[in-house]
Amino acid sequence: MGRTIAIGDVHGCAWEFEKLLKKIKPEPTDTIIQLGDLINKGPNSHDVIAIAQDYKISAVMGNHELRLLKAKKDNKGKALSSYNRDTYEQLTKIDWKWIEQLPKHIHKKQLKTVLVHGGFLPDSPWRSQPIEVVSQVQVIDKKGNPQKRSDAPSGKLWVNLWKKKPFVIYGHIPRRKVYRTKKTIGIDTGCVYGGNLSAYILEEDRIVRVAAKKAYC
Ligand SMILES: [Mn+2]
C-alpha cells in the first residue's frame, strides 16, 4: 500500500521543494498532497506548480492562491502588492488552470484525516465551512469569529479548541517546529523565511524536512 504524504507551505521555494521530494523518493503508489500556499513570497512560483504537476501532487487552496484567483477574476492584477504581482505575471495559462481546480480541503476517509490550508471553526460542521474561513483561520476571537493572529492577539489558536474528529493536517502558521495537538498537526516550518520545508508521512507518523537555502523574505 502506498504512503500518504503531506507537504507544508512552499511559497515559491522550488529548490527546497525538489530537494524534499528527492529525499521522500515517491513511489507511484504514494499520494502526495501539498497544503496550499505553494506560490508567492519566494522566487519561483511558476516552477513550483510545474514540479507539482510533474510529481502528480494534489494540493488544497491556500489564502495566497485564493487572493490571486480573486484578483484575476476581478481583473485587478495590477492593483496587487509587489510579490503578488510578480507571481501574477509569472503564471502561465496552465498554472492558472491548475490553481483554479484546487479544492478547499481533501478528506482521507480511511485515515480519518482532513488536509486543509488554514483550519476550521471548532463549533460548526467542518465540511460546509467556506473557503474564506478554511484557507485563512489562525485564531478564534472572543465572538467566535476566525481571525489572523496579528489581528486578534488575544484570540485562541483554533487547534487548541479542536477536540473532535477528524484529525487535521494544516499549514499557514509558520513555526520553527511542527506543532502537534492530539487531533492536529501543523507543518508550516517557514521555509520562505529561512526555516525548513517539512513533509509528514501519515502512515509512518514521521516528518521529513529540508533546510531552506536562505531566507527569501
Ligand atoms: Mn497561508
Average pLDDT, the chain: 96
Q: Are 39 and 9 in contact (CB under 8 A)?
A: no
**Peptide bond before 174: cis, by omega within 30 degrees of 0?**
no
Is residue 216 a part of any domain in this protein? no
pLDDT digits (tens, 9 = 90+) for 120-166: 999 999 999 999 999 999 999 999 999 999 999 999 999 999 998 89
pLDDT for res 78: 87
Whole-number Å distance between alpha carbons of 30 and 33: 10
Cα angle 32-130-54, degrees, rounded to a multiple of 5: 20
pLDDT for res 216: 97
CA–centroid distance, residue 205 to ligand 1 (Å): 23
CA–centroid distance, residue 117 to ligand 1 (Å): 7
Cα angle 31-37-39, degrees, rounded to a multiple of 5: 105
CA–centroid distance, residue 38 to ligand 1 (Å): 9
CA–centroid distance, residue 62 to ligand 1 (Å): 6
Is residue 28 a part of any domain in this protein? yes
CATH number of the domain residue 33 falls in: 3.60.21.10
CA 214 to mean position of chain CA atoms: 20
- Cα(first)–Cα(last) distance of the chain, in Å? 39
- Residue holding cell 496579528? 150
CA–centroid distance, residue 61 to ligand 1 (Å): 9
Helices (H), 74-166: 82-90, 93-100, 131-134
Q: Which of 76, 64, 101, 99 lies closest to 192, judged by CA?
A: 64
Whole-number Å distance between alpha carbons of 95 and 113: 28
- The grid coordinates listed for 64 are 495566497
CA–centroid distance, residue 129 to ligand 1 (Å): 17
Number of domains in the chain: 1
**pLDDT (tens digit, 0 to 9) for every residue of the chain, 217 residues total?**
899 999 999 999 999 999 999 999 999 999 999 999 999 999 999 999 999 999 999 999 999 999 999 999 999 988 998 889 999 999 999 999 999 999 999 999 999 999 999 999 999 999 999 999 999 999 999 999 999 999 999 999 999 999 988 999 999 999 999 999 999 999 999 999 999 999 999 999 999 999 999 999 9
Is residue 96 a part of any domain in this protein? yes
Is residue 45 a part of any domain in this protein? yes
Is residue 217 a part of any domain in this protein? no
CA–centroid distance, residue 189 to ligand 1 (Å): 12
CA–centroid distance, residue 1 to ligand 1 (Å): 31
pLDDT for res 170: 98
pLDDT for res 164: 86
CA–centroid distance, residue 136 to ligand 1 (Å): 6
Please give the model's pTM, rounded to 2 decimal places: 0.97
CA–centroid distance, residue 169 to ligand 1 (Å): 13
The domain in which residue 82 lies consists of 4-211
CA–centroid distance, residue 22 to ligand 1 (Å): 24
CA–centroid distance, residue 174 to ligand 1 (Å): 9
CA–centroid distance, residue 11 to ligand 1 (Å): 9
